[in-house]
Structure 1
Amino acid sequence: MEKAFKNLVKSNFPFLSTGKILVAVSGGVDSVVLAHLCKNAKINFSIAHCNFNLRGEESDGDEAFLLDLADALDVEVFTESFDTSAYAKDAGISIQMAARELRYNWFHQLSAALHFDYILTAHHINDDLETFLINFIRGTGLEGLTGIKTENEKVVRPLMNFSRKEIEAFALENKIQWREDSSNASSKYLRNKIRLEIIPLMEEINPQLLNAFTQTQSHLKESYDLMEDYIGLLYSEIVSKDVYGYRLKIEVLEKIPNTRAVLYQLLKTFGFTEWNDVYDLLQAQTGKMVYSGTHRLIKDRDYLILTETPSENTRKDFLIPEGEEIVMLPLGKLSFESVDKIGETGPHIAYVAKDKLVFPLILRKWQKGDQFHPFGMKGKKKISDLFKDNKLSLPEKEESWLLCSSNEIVWVVNQRADGRFAVTDSSPDILKITYSL
């Protein structure tokens, strides 16, 4: 195994021989063997160990063992203690997920602070098979069946070509000591149940299970890469980006084959789970929406519009005192300038009679029932009707601002001014207001 590891580093991970490496070591056989292999391959590395304080004295014993291991290998060691149970409770997640978040967050913080080039973990083929089965049981897309990535940004897993049996055989052959985690013998957790009960049954059916799994997963990865290439070719035809988010062109989506699968691939990173509802948006009425925990997908005429779910602070009002020159908005800015006459015109510019204004002006989002007196028209008009006439999408409506004097609308920003504040020949002062991105 040592020779195979060295050859693997030389052919697949040559950067490990020249970089500064952080090796995650729990004390179990997999990570301890990885540390020994790195030492024998003359890799410049340090050890990082997490004490999750889940097994009392046993956890403290793991930490003490790691300090001795680092001393024996003559490498630097970093340890960190976590209150994992409290973190899991506060975050509302499982102990396993909490430990994973704490572990990787600390590894990346340590890496950034001390300039480690790569973080090594001791995942192997058996871990990959267990992850595959977990994802399969819970339900997943093709990506969830392609397994643990050998490289994921700074995290590298150089033992992915080796099995747990090979690793344990190497440890026994070289008289390498390790720590046994007593919780690994319990079927309380899903991963352990799969490892201890399900995989042995599968190996009874097929003694070459790991080889068969490796071949199957190779085919799945090829299929996934093919799908990614296909999505890459379609992306520019379907997706466009603007200041509000992303637009997906319904006409193209309806013409291509496998629309459901394409929608899933385009939107999978935004947390949606109700994929039938997402697909049904294509035929839904304008204004229909589907939400994830962080985003929403809106049917708007010929498009599906993807935006972040707006928060309450997006409805903040601004008070603009007399003499203010620039007001910064979440999307753009307003500029105020005193001028002698009307010059350049356009929907992004409003000229108002300053003597008709009551300061401070109020800049706010539109509300249901808002009305104004459009310049050039007699009578009132609902703001909602103006939006409808201008064919604004929901995000565009939500990001529309009203400039108000007291309770009266002066300007629907970047759209239309109110005639009550129009400049006349007798206006002593003219205020030019400009909207720009």
Structure 2
Amino acid sequence: MKNKVINTIKKYKLIEKGDNVLVGVSGGPDSMALLYILYEIRDYINFNLYVAHVNHGVRGKEADRDEEFVKKVCSKLDIPFYSKKVDMEEFAKKNRLSQEEAGRKIRYSFFREIIKKLGKGKIAVAHNKNDQAETLLMRFIRGTGIDGLKGMDYINGDIIRPLLDVERKEIESFLENSGIKARIDKTNLKPIYKRNKIRLELIPYIRENFNENIINTLFRTSTIMKVESDFLENYSKKIQNEVLKNKGKNEVSIDRDKFLEQHIAIKNRILRNCIENIKGNLKGIEEKHISDMITLIKEGSTGKRIDLPNNLIIRISYDTIIIEKKKKSNKKKELYYTVKINGITEVEDFGFEISTKVLHKDDFKMESKNKFIKYFDYDKIKDNLYIRNRKPGDIFKPLGMRGRKKLKDFFIDEKIPREKRDLIPLLVDKENILWVIGYRISEQYKITNKTKRILVVEYKNNKEELHE
């Protein structure tokens, strides 16, 4: 096993002479194996070794014993030891994260604090071949593309994974033969997290009923997907350079005609790369956002735009596609979001969210007279639903009225101050206004005796009430 790890390190240049290597050690079998192997191979590669441990504060005295265990091992091996105790559950609630996400964020934040103190360095984590298989299954179940199915990389920025070619059974054998003790986190033996369920229930089921060598099969799949993904990414960047008109810190402009000549897979990658160039990551960007961007570009209407998460927009200006950070302006703040059906649409820039669900009339029961929960005849909706603010010439048919009226006149009748009118969100489809949120729904979309399916829409404002 040691030779296998050395070969991995050399092949992917994970550790080089003089490196500062910080090992994340929980005290469990995988991280203890990684610690001892790196400790031993310093005879072959001269580098500096450090250990970091995070006590997540979840398992009480057991977690404290884990911390003390790792500390004693480091003292015995004469390795500098860093530790931090946190309340992971509180952090998860405060930041609206799952416990797994919260733990990951806390750990890497702490690791990078240490690396910063050291001046520079690499973070070694104990992900192995089994972890890679679990990751692929998790991503496949959640929904992913080629990039997701390539799994974890041997090196990703400042993170290195020396054990990625090693199976868990090899790790267990190494520890037993070397007489190395490890702590067992009993929560890992319970199917309480998604990854645990995959490890403890799904993979054993696949092994027994379909493929006893599923770990290596998935690992080979990840290797194949990485080759495909790397080719597509490199090719996409080549094409991106050809279609780019301008690339700045806060803005990217693309030749629309050249862009439209490309295959859809290349278009998607170019858009993702442009967003990543501007904001540094793709957090919050989903397949739906990319799809909406493609649709906007195809339509090619000058002046049309879409608001994206994290203060980004895409807009069309004649033969140019522009992706940019929103500029501060005295003009009204534009609002345009596609609404998810049977889901939640977060309108981050305006501080509210829209949740929707479709019910059959036999399953429907009027739950509330809350002015921010409304009901519509789902089969009357044309194309997609959107949230936007008012536009010149908007016309609305308020519930209870036979005729239509200008939205401007409706606002006047409701005595809504002029300065607030642009801030009132409208729920619309391709042709009409369904709901002036906080005020009135449309007569055209009301529930009748002929209604078969009902759309329930709820507005939640995270900042303040829409109106008194």
In the superposition, the TM-score normalised over structure 2's length comes to 0.63
Q: Is 1:30 equivalent to 2:30 in the alignment?
A: yes
Q: CA deviation at 1:190?
A: 0.7
Give the corresponding residue for 2:292.
Answer: 277
Q: How does 1:88-237 map to 2 (within 5 A)?
A: 88-204=92-208, 205-237=210-242
Q: CA deviation at 1:154?
A: 1.9
- Note the 1:216-295 alignment, pairs <5 A: 216-239=221-244, 240-242=246-248, 245-258=251-264, 260-267=267-274, 269=276, 270=282, 271-273=284-286, 274=288, 275-284=290-299, 285-294=301-310, 295=312
Indicate the residue corresponding to 2:325 in structure 1: 308
Where 1:41 maps in the other structure, the secondary structure is: helix
Query: 1:13 — aligned with what?
Result: 13
Give 1:15 shift.
3.4
Structure-2 change in CA distance of 1:34 and 1:312 (3 Å): farther
Q: Distance in 1 between matches of 2:93 and 2:157?
A: 29
Q: Give, in whole Å, the separation in 2 of the partners of 1:129 and 1:206.
A: 13
TM-superposed deviation, 1:237: 2.0
| Contact 1:70-1:77 at 8 Å conserved across structures | yes
Q: Gaps spanning 5+ residues in structure 1: where?
A: 316-367, 370-437
Instruction: Name the CA distance, whole Å, in 1 between partners of 2:49 and 2:305.
Output: 51
Contact 2:252 2:274 in 1 (8 A): no
Aligned to 1:15, what secondary structure does the other structure show? coil
Q: Supply the AA of the counterpart residue of 1:111.
A: I
**Farther-moved stretch of structure 1 (97-106 vs 213-222):** 213-222
For each residue in 1:336-375, what CA deviation from the matched residue of structure 2 results, as whole angstroms up to 9, or x when unmatched? xxxxxxxxxxxxxxxxxxxxxxxxxxxxxxxx99xxxxxx
What secondary structure, in the 3-state scheme, does the structure 1 residue paired with 2:15 have? helix
Q: Calculate the aligned-residue CA RMSD, in Å.
A: 2.4
Structure 1 contact 120–156 (Cα < 8 Å) conserved = yes
- Amino acid across the alignment from 2:186: S
User: What are the within-5 Å matches in structure 2 for residues 300-339 of structure 1?
Assistant: 300-310=317-327
The structure having more radius of gyration, on CA atoms, is 1
| Whole-angstrom CA distance in 2 between matches of 1:251 and 1:14 | 42
- Shift of residue 268 of structure 1? 6.2
Aligned to 2:337: none
Tell me which amino acid in the other structure corresponds to 1:52.
H
Structure 2 CA distance for aligned equivalents of residues 157 and 54 of structure 1 = 26
1:60 aligns to what SS in structure 2?
A: helix
1:215-269 deviation line (CA, Å, top 9, x unaligned): 2222111111110121122112222225751112210122222365445543564
Is the Cα–Cα contact under 8 Å of residues 2 and 37 in structure 1 kept in the other structure? yes
Distance in structure 2 (CA, Å) of the matches to 1:164 and 1:18: 29
Of 42, 46, 49, the match for 1:45: 49
Question: What are the superposed Cα offsets for residues 143-192 of structure 1, whole Å, 9 maximum, x if unpaired?
Answer: 11111111112211100110111111111121211111111122121111
SS in 2 for 1:49: strand
CA distance in 1, matches of 2:158, 2:150: 19
Does structure 1 conserve the Cα–Cα contact (< 8 Å) formed by 2:303 and 2:317?
yes
Residue 312 and residue 162 in structure 1: after superposition, are their counterparts in 2 closer, same or farther (change >3 A)?
A: farther
| 1:47 Cα deviation after fit | 1.0
Distance 1:236 1:7, change over 3 A: closer
Give the stretch that moved more between structures: 222-231 or 238-247.
238-247
| Residue 62 (structure 2) aligns with | 58
1:12-59: CA deviations, max 9, x gaps? 437345322211101110000111111211253111100110111111
1:53/1:81 contact within 8 Å kept:
yes
User: Would the aligned equivalents of 2:259 and 2:267 in 1 still touch at CA under 8 Å?
Assistant: no
Residue by residue over 1:93-118, the C-alpha shift from the partner in whole angstroms, topping out at 9 and shown as x without a partner, is 11111111111011111011123522
Residue identity opposite 1:276 in structure 2: S
CA contact (8 A) 1:272 1:291 kept: no
Contact 1:22-1:116 within 8 A present in 2 as well:
no
CA–CA separation in structure 1 for the residues paired with 2:260 and 2:184? 55
Over 3 Å counting, the alpha-carbon distance change for 1:243 and 1:135 in structure 2 is closer
Decide which moves more: 138-147 or 16-25: 16-25
Gap change, CA 1:212 and 1:108, over 3 Å in 2: same
Q: Distance in 1 between matches of 2:137 and 2:271?
A: 21
Q: Which runs of 5+ in 2 are unaligned?
A: 277-281, 333-390, 393-468
CA distance, structure 2, for counterparts of residue 210 and residue 180 of structure 1: 22
Secondary structure, counterpart of 2:79 in structure 1: coil
Going from structure 1 to structure 2, the CA distance change for 1:154 and 1:313 (only over 3 Å counts) comes to farther
Letter in 1 for 2:313: R
Range with bigger deviation, 295-304 or 91-100: 295-304
Question: Would the aligned equivalents of 1:21 and 1:120 in 2 still touch at CA under 8 Å?
Answer: yes
Partner Cα separation in structure 2 for residue 224 and residue 218 of structure 1: 10
- Do the aligned partners of 1:231 and 1:265 also contact (CA within 8 Å) in 2? no
CA contact (8 A) 2:5 2:165 kept: no
Code of the residue aligned with 1:257 in structure 2: it is: H
**Residue 313 and residue 79 in structure 1: after superposition, are their counterparts in 2 closer, same or farther (change >3 A)?**
farther
Separation in structure 2 between the aligned mates of residue 14 and residue 286 of structure 1, nearest angstrom? 49
Q: Percent identity?
A: 30
The CA deviation at 1:133 is: 1.4
Partners in 2 of 1:249 and 1:222 — Cα distance?
29
Residue in 1 that maps onto 2:370? none
| 8 Å Cα contact 2:151-2:222 kept in structure 1 | yes
Asked if 2 retains the 8 angstrom alpha-carbon contact of 1:51 and 1:79, the reply is yes
Q: Which residue of 1 aligns with 2:388?
A: none
Q: 2-side partners of 1:32 and 1:314: how far apart? A: 58
Structure-2 change in CA distance of 1:157 and 1:26 (3 Å): same
Shift of 1:313: 9.4
Instruction: Report the number of matched residues.
Output: 317
1:329 aligns with: none
